[in-house]
Amino acid sequence: MKKLFFFLVILFGCETKNDSLPNVILVLVDDLGYNDVGFNGSNDIRTPNIDILSNNGVTFTNGYVSYPVCSPSRAGIITGRYQDKFGYGLNILYTPKDPKMGLQLSEYTLADLFKSKNYITSAIGKWHLGAHESLRPLNRGFDEFFGFLTGGHRYFPDEWILEDETEVKSQSDAYRTKLLRNNKRVEENEYLTDALSREAINFIDRNNDNPFFIYLAYNAPHGPLQATKKYLDRYDKIEDKRRKTYAAMVSAVDDGVGGILEKLKHHKILDNTIIYFLSDNGGSKFNSSDNYPLRGYKGELYEGGLKVPFVMHWPVKIKPNTVFEKPVISLDIFATIKSIINPNLKLNNPLHGKNLIPYLNGNDNNAPHEYLFWRNNGHQPPQDDGTRPRYITWALRTLNHKLLIRRNDSMFFDLDNDISESINIKDSLWRSFNFLNSKIQEWNESNLDPIFLGLKDNKMYNKLNPDRFK
């Protein structure tokens, strides 16, 4: 018996770090253009560290998010579910007294999944899934939180003049609050992006002996465009001031990724750490981003709103320099991680993503998804007359084609030959068009209309809730 015990101790002790549960770091950036990273071909922005993830992992050239603006896209990522299935179809408002404005407690989060295997979990950066106390990160599966609750934040500490939510008197005020560490407001002196990177690196130092999950949600390069001299100086050659600042903001994120890689290497845990890098939606019309060669921007169901820079790094399982061209979606992150760390766990709600590992290692040569779906409930981009009409639009992606249904027109694109969605082939392929349109309607049957008012309903919300900030 004693012998067996020692044998087990030796066996256990011999287990290498590469056989154990992987650490996971999900680096989510905000409003980054498809063409604004080195690995997608940017010729003015340099991202050497983010490119390492691409070189040592898999690059998804058709990697999508489930919604073209921040908050619903994040709800999709963190649940692994199409957010319209639970009525999360609009960008939320900052309403710290409203328990309904955010991710419902009936939804199981990615952090909950990690807790089911005793991971140490940390949310760093932009939360944007509910500002009410009950909806904050520490109630959603995270052991630690450092960051801010709303959809964006100013980047320089001297602008964080509001002590806490009691001093917030408008939607835009929330960009000026002091940062939160867990439930406490803290003093902070660093440029925001650097502070978030520092927190992630410190977390790795403190937890390198346990399996851990870091949800590192940079708000860069979301507006306002603000950068420090250190990063601006790298872009002397960019003359356009806004583009230069944007490039500098991306550079700050890249330095953060570099610091994380160095720290993982230092603790000898780099190879068994899964690192995702993606943007929550495509580049915005207003932050100087570049979605080339894609059509459209954030807020739209064209490729420019939905297709994002997207990589996954996991050297022990994924061959370096893998390029995966078949369509995948951010919802796959949850399903993939679940298959890796806790495949037998039963969940109450169905997941809508796929475990991508069999497709990445060549065990399955089919496309992971027959169809990907989108429903945009929000206001459409400004029209020539300045108005912002609101109506639902839908899209569907097959392996080769994309369907886009709007109120007064609909489009069908052959993405294999027309990545820029410039030629509408609906009339010549009307039979397929009609078939795919019926698939959208089928998918939409179980969707819920948004269960809360959205960012663009700010005035209406204030009228209905006069004590919002009291």
Q: Using CB under 5 A as the criterion, which residues of the chain lie in contact with Ca ion when the complex forms?
A: 30-31, 70, 280-281
Nearest to 285 by CA among 272, 300, 274: 300
- The angle formed by the CA atoms of residues 90, 91 and 94, to the nearest 5 degrees, is 130
Q: Which is nearer to Ca ion, 38 or 305 (CB)?
A: 305
Closest contact distance (angstroms) between CB of 381 and Ca ion is: 15
Q: Could you tell me the smallest distance in angstroms from the CB atom of residue 264 to Ca ion? A: 26
428: burial class by Cβ within 10 Å (0-12, 13-18, 19+)?
exposed
Cα dihedral value 291, 293, 297, 300, nearest 10? -140
For 210: left if phi > 0, alpha if psi spans -120 to 50, otherwise beta; the answer is: beta
319's tokens = 């061959």
Q: Are strands 144-148 and 372-376 parallel, antiparallel or unpaired?
A: unpaired
Tell me the closest approach of the beta carbon of residue 255 to Ca ion, in angstroms. 21
Pair of tokens at residue 457: 């309903």
Q: Smaller CB distance to Ca ion: residue 319 or 388?
A: 388
Q: Which is nearer to Ca ion, 31 or 199 (CB)?
A: 31
Whole-number Å distance between alpha carbons of 188 and 190: 6
Tokens encoding 342: 């806790």
Least distance in angstroms from the C-beta of 280 to Ca ion: 4
Sequence-distant contacts of 342-346: CB under 8 A, at least 24 apart: 342/113, 342/116, 342/117, 345/113, 345/116
Give the nearest residue (CB) to Ca ion: 70
Using an 8 Å Cβ cutoff, are 261 and 255 in contact?
no
In angstroms, the CA 335 to CA 152 distance is 28
Q: Catalytic one among 70, 153, 313, 379? A: 70
Tell me the C-alpha distance between 319 and 153, whole Å: 37
**Which CB, 30 or 194, lies closer to Ca ion?**
30
Residues with Cβ within 8 Å of residue 313, at least 6 apart in sequence: 53, 56, 57, 58, 273, 274, 275, 276, 277
Q: Which of 14, 128, 132, 266 is catalytic?
A: 128
70 given a catalytic annotation: yes
- Considering the complex, state which of residue 119 and residue 246 has its C-beta at the smaller distance from Ca ion: 246
For residue 306, the surrounding DSSP H or E stretch is helix 303-306
Which residue, 222 or 375, has its beta carbon nearer to Ca ion?
222
In angstroms, the CA 264 to CA 280 distance is 24
Residues 205, 190: Cα–Cα separation, whole Å: 19
Q: How far is the CB of 252 from Ca ion (least distance, A)?
A: 17
Distance CA 170, CA 462 (A): 9
How many other C-beta atoms are found inside a 10 Å radius of the C-beta of residue 14? 8
User: Chain centroid to CA 251: how far?
Assistant: 18
In this complex, which beta carbon is closest to Ca ion, that of residue 70 or of residue 453?
Answer: 70
What is the bridge-based pairing of β-strands 310-313 and 23-29? unpaired
Cβ of residue 70: shortest distance to Ca ion, in angstroms? 4
Nearest distance, CB of residue 310 and Ca ion, angstroms: 14
Q: Which two tokens mark 261?
A: 């890689």
In whole angstroms, the minimum distance from the beta carbon of 263 to Ca ion comes to 27
- Within 10 A of 365 (CB to CB), how many other CB atoms are there? 8
Min CB(222)–Ca ion separation in Å: 6
By annotation, the residues acting in catalysis are 70, 128
